[in-house]
């Protein structure tokens, strides 16, 4: 062990969950990896430093930003030395010391300086660097992987990986790469653990909705109307209908099987459009896809998704094959360009980009921010510490006239500053902190001077309001001004701070924040979670602090569910774990925990917002809800929710039945049979007298079969096809679990893990593992979701069929999860366990000619569900 590291010692008591994690360190590090998931505020940096101390080797610590890199050195001096006197450290990767703090970008730049990569590997060996610490490794850009993977392949290191948000939502290749570098997850600290130990503050997310301005509403309504008119005209356009009828896919499908199999959505879109026109689809066209003559396909409605797929292929993907019709295709292109639905080689009838851009920048959000700030100030008074994060600065709004403020049409740091300065009370408590613009009120200059000399800065009054000063450092680093503003904010001289997500969103530490407004719509789950982390840290000066996190959404008045912005929020919330707004609270991720209605009509927005503000001011209730919910569980469990569908699905949706039709059918059949029995006895009493009891029984059976034979057959088919869904899902889960175990993915011991499957009140079915670790839970949930989702393009299919099923026209198609479908031997292992729980089945390789044909048939069986959310992965504290 290095002498310098041996002398380090953590000078404070460990938190209980940190001590628990470190207790198992020796067993976890046996494979030379230690991979920990822990949320912001859990002391990841301190844990990392303790592990470095325990290993006692020369270490390279890599962080995503300079700010976080500097924090590592600061935590080392503050928490592991008595007098901040640790000397053998370096910030220069070219001149390493016992501990070297650097960034991923610096390592990548250093890597590129070596023409012979052997010299790169030798550099680390010659400097005896044996430990790599990867802080927030999910930040790694594609180009940055090479230098680390190269290093790992050619040298022996201890690799310590610390992250708040593993990239579970990334592609399989990226997830695989991540775990190859970092190793399997060894331990996880959950948000409820931290709240229970009072190391994170109780907190809640709130959504404040806004209604677009009249100009925006008119723009949206006109846009939707024009597209609806275009669709109506197209359905009557005989030229276009003939164009599709003459398309090679429809005219001669047998001649183009390979193309058909590789682009099933295109062929589906052609059929769906022709069907919507009232055109009778020639069944011979479907026979080539494996459908028998008696099989009828119920086509879904021609919505804008399908219209988009059709035109994306006609105008882009398939255009070279339509060269003989180029003149007509060009006229179609011009029509779509005039409608603004075809730009940058992309067809978008929904208007996701065009309308979303308009709504995400809606000035109505500026009014939302003013309302939130006013409500929070009224509630918290002098205790208010509000931070507003956004994406852009918008320097053009720095010196606008007073009468122009209400004409601001963009979201950004300066538009928000102007609105709050003009429309909120106590503007002297307001400040701006971004990479290039810093604004303070002149009234806090004296407080500024107690922290840093004014001589190092220039102060220029704003033209629009001389009481506000533009602050510019004189040859001093940006970090210095960030530090000064942070201290002023912590002290309460600044109560509302507006900044950019890039500067303050990650790594910036101001524990006093109790109200965070996220006016940012750029970024991933990961960055959203990092931004929230700013507001949920505990504040030793305010032990009863609760954090309110505000999300903004401008509602699309033409969409009942609120539109694209609400949809984006829903996706973001998959990464957030929090307490529900329900009467009996529990801890979960997902948007549903806020109990916001599925439909958000614009006329109910004010009522909804008033209710949200009222709930947000009752901060003591937030704390109570956390305390109640935490007591109901011990750890976070990932589970799959199979979503209930209110509409009865058609035959194509065979593999999953979303409501228990069989149960209702049996009840209906029972009462009908009783009624039939009473009526038959009453009407046929004379038969008993004339012919005897046996003749009566024969007549009863004959009448019963005649009346109920079809219904009984229908019930039998329903049961064979669907059974009781939650039991079937449970059996699927067992097949997945046993396959994971046989293929070596289960490290917790198969005997300790069970599958739990049950029905929720609304009809959703939930399935999860009990007794598994985080990685096992994640792999299980992903595999089950893939098994139940509409079929896309798996390498292998399982077809549940037999002679009896074929006679009843019941075939179920299931995609083999990607984790098991990469090799045939793995797919066979899954099929073996499937057979033991769910009966006989056929395994089909979809890359063969026959396989492609059946894959297309299977996909068409699910075409009705192509754009619906079928399953959802949920984290629940249990």
Are residues 220 and 209 both part of a single domain?
no
Are residues 234 and 122 both part of a single domain?
no
Contact 387, 510 (CB under 8 A): yes
Write down the pLDDT at residue 142: 65
- In angstroms, what CA-CA distances link 284 with 50, 91, 243, 878? 70, 71, 19, 54
| 404 is a domain residue | yes
Residue 146: both structure tokens together: 């090479």
Residue 176: both structure tokens together: 């695989």
Contact 811, 841 (CB under 8 A): no
Are residues 486 and 402 both part of a single domain?
yes
* DSSP conformation letters of 796-843: EEEEE--HHHHHTT--EEEEPPHHHHSSHHHHHHHHHHHHHHH---EE
Is residue 341 helix, strand or coil? coil
Residue 472, judged by CB atoms within 10 A of its CB (0-12, 13-18, 19+), counts as: middle
DSSP 318: T
Are residues 494 and 614 both part of a single domain?
yes
Range of the domain at 613: 203-213+362-634
Contact 131, 52 (CB under 8 A): yes
| 648 is a domain residue | no
Axis-axis angle for helices 264-276, 849-861 (nearest 10): 40
Distance CA 440, CA 459 (A): 9
| 546 is a domain residue | yes
Is residue 139 helix, strand or coil? helix
Distance CA 38, CA 13 (A): 19
Are residues 348 and 325 both part of a single domain?
yes
Is residue 90 helix, strand or coil? strand
Distance CA 281, CA 304 (A): 21
| 645 is a domain residue | no
Q: What is the chain's length?
A: 878
Backbone φ and ψ for 84, nearest 5 degrees, come out as: 50, 45
Are residues 209 and 224 both part of a single domain?
no
Are residues 230 and 344 both part of a single domain?
yes
Domain boundary among 314, 342, 358: 358
DSSP 346: E
Residue 22: both structure tokens together: 């470190």
Q: Are strands 842-845 and 871-877 parallel, antiparallel or unpaired?
A: unpaired
| Distance from the Cα of residue 523 to its chain's centroid | 12
Backbone φ and ψ for 516, nearest 5 degrees, come out as: -120, 125
Write down the pLDDT at residue 873: 75
Q: What share of the chain is helix, strand, coil (3-state, %, to 5)?
A: 55, 15, 30
| 652 is a domain residue | no
Are residues 794 and 848 both part of a single domain?
yes
Distance CA 172, CA 169 (A): 9
CATH no. for residue 95? 3.40.50.300
Closest to 404 (Cα-Cα) out of 388, 422, 390, 392 = 422
Are residues 64 and 35 both part of a single domain?
yes
Write down the pLDDT at residue 109: 92
Residue 338, judged by CB atoms within 10 A of its CB (0-12, 13-18, 19+), counts as: exposed
Is residue 796 helix, strand or coil? strand
Contact 214, 615 (CB under 8 A): no
Are residues 448 and 550 both part of a single domain?
yes
Backbone φ and ψ for 246, nearest 5 degrees, come out as: -85, -5
Distance CA 555, CA 207 (A): 11
| Distance from the Cα of residue 182 to its chain's centroid | 22
Write down the pLDDT at residue 684: 54
| 647 is a domain residue | no
Is residue 279 helix, strand or coil? coil
Q: What is the pLDDT of residues 551-607, one digit of tens each?
A: 999 998 888 888 888 888 888 887 788 999 988 899 998 888 999 988 888 889 999
Contact 162, 134 (CB under 8 A): yes
DSSP 537: B
Distance CA 820, CA 740 (A): 9
| Distance from the Cα of residue 752 to its chain's centroid | 30
| 641 is a domain residue | no
Write down the pLDDT at residue 846: 86
CB neighbourhood size of 246 (10 A): 11
Closest to 439 (Cα-Cα) out of 391, 503, 382, 494 = 494
Are residues 163 and 282 both part of a single domain?
no
Provide the domain count of the chain. Answer: 5
pTM of the model: 0.78
Write down the pLDDT at residue 665: 46
Regions of the chain short of the pLDDT cut 70? 139-143, 166-172, 286-298, 476-479, 505-507, 522-528, 644-724, 761-763, 801-811, 860-870
Write down the pLDDT at residue 809: 40
Distance CA 548, CA 730 (A): 38
Number of H helices, E strands in the chain: 37, 27
Are residues 629 and 739 both part of a single domain?
no
Is residue 595 helix, strand or coil? coil
Closest to 23 (Cα-Cα) out of 12, 11, 15 = 15
């Amino acid at each position: 062990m290095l002498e310098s590291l041996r002398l380090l010692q953590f000078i404070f008591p460990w938190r209980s969950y940190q001590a628990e994690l470190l207790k198992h360190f020796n067993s976890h590090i046996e494979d030379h990896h230690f991979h920990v998931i822990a949320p912001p505020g859990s002391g990841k940096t301190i844990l990392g430093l303790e592990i470095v101390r325990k290993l006692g080797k020369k270490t390279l610590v890599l962080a995503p930003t300079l700010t976080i890199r500097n924090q590592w050195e600061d935590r080392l001096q503050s928490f592991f030395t008595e007098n901040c006197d640790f000397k053998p450290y370096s910030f220069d990767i070219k001149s390493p010391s016992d501990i070297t703090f650097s960034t991923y970008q610096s390592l990548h730049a250093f890597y590129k300086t070596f023409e012979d990569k052997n010299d790169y590997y030798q550099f680390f060996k010659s400097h005896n660097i044996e430990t790599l610490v990867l802080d927030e490794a999910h930040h790694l850009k594609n180009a940055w992987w090479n230098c680390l993977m190269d290093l790992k392949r050619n040298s022996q290191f201890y690799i310590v990986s610390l992250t708040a948000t593993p990239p579970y939502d990334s592609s399989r290749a990226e997830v695989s790469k991540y775990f190859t570098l970092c190793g399997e997850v060894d331990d996880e600290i959950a948000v409820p653990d931290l709240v229970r130990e009072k190391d994170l503050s109780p907190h809640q997310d709130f959504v404040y909705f806004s209604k677009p301005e009249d100009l925006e509403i008119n723009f949206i309504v006109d846009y939707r109307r024009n597209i609806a008119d275009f669709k109506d005209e197209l359905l009557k356009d005989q030229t276009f209908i003939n164009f599709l009828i003459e398309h090679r896919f429809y005219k001669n499908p047998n001649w183009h099987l390979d193309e058909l199999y590789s682009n099933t959505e295109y062929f589906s879109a052609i059929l769906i459009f022709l069907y919507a026109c009232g055109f009778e689809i020639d069944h011979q066209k479907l026979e080539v896809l494996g459908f028998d003559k008696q099989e009828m396909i119920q086509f879904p409605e021609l919505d804008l998704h399908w219209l988009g797929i059709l035109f994306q292929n006609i105008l882009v993907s398939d255009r070279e094959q339509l060269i003989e019709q180029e003149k007509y295709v060009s006229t179609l292109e011009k029509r779509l360009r005039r409608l603004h639905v075809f730009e940058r080689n992309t067809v978008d009838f929904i208007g996701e980009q065009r309308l979303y851009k308009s709504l995400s920048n809606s000035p109505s959000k500026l009014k939302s921010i003013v309302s939130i700030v006013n409500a929070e100030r009224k509630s918290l008074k002098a205790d208010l510490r509000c931070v507003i994060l956004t994406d852009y600065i918008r320097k053009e709004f720095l010196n606008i006239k007073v009468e122009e403020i209400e004409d601001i049409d963009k979201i950004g740091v300066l538009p928000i500053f102007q609105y709050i300065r003009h429309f909120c009370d106590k503007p002297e408590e307001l400040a701006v902190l971004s990479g290039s613009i810093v604004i303070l009120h002149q009234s806090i200059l004296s407080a500024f001077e107690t922290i840093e000399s004014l001589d190092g800065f220039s102060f220029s009054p704003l033209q629009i309001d001389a009481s506000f000063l533009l602050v510019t450092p004189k040859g001093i680093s940006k970090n210095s001004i960030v530090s000064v503003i942070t201290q002023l904010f912590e002290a309460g001289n600044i109560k509302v701070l507006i900044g950019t997500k890039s500067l303050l969103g990650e790594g910036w530490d101001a524990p006093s924040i109790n109200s965070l407004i996220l006016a940012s719509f750029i970024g991933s789950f990961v960055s959203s979670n990092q931004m929230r982390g700013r507001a949920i840290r505990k504040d030793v000066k305010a032990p009863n602090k609760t954090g309110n996190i505000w999300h903004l959404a401008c509602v699309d008045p033409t969409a009942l569910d609120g539109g694209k912005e609400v949809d984006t929020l829903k996706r973001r919330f998959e990464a957030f774990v929090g307490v529900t707004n329900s009467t009996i609270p529990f801890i979960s991720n997902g948007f549903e925990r806020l109990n916001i209605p599925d439909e958000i009509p614009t006329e109910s927005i004010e009522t909804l917002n008033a209710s949200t503000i009222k709930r947000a001011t009752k901060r003591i209730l937030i704390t109570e809800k956390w305390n109640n919910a935490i007591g109901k569980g011990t750890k976070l469990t990932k589970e799959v929710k199979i979503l209930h569908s209110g509409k009865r699905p058609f035959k194509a949706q065979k593999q999953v039945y979303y409501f228990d039709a069989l149960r209702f059918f049996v009840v209906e059949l029972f009462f009908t049979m009783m009624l039939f029995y009473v009526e038959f006895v009453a009407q046929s009493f004379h038969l008993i007298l004339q012919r005897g009891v046996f003749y009566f029984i024969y007549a009863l059976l004959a009448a019963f079969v005649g009346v109920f034979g079809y219904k009984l057959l229908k019930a039998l088919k329903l049961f064979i096809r669907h059974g009781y869904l939650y039991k079937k899902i449970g059996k699927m889960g067992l097949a997945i679990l046993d396959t994971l175990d046989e293929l070596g993915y289960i490290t917790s011991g198969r005997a300790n893990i069970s599958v739990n499957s049950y029905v929720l009140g609304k009809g959703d079915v939930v399935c999860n593992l009990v007794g598994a670790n985080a990685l096992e839970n994640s792999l299980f949930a992903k595999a089950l979701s893939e098994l139940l989702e509409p079929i896309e393009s798996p390498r292998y299919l399982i077809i549940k069929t037999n002679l009896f099923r074929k006679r009843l026209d019941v075939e179920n198609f299931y995609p083999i999860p990607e984790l098991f479908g990469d090799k045939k031997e793995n797919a066979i292992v899954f099929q073996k366990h499937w057979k033991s729980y769910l009966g006989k089945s056929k395994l089909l390789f979809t890359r063969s000619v026959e396989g492609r044909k059946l894959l297309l048939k299977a996909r068409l069986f699910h075409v009705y569900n192509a754009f619906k959310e079928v399953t959802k992965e949920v984290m629940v504290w249990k």
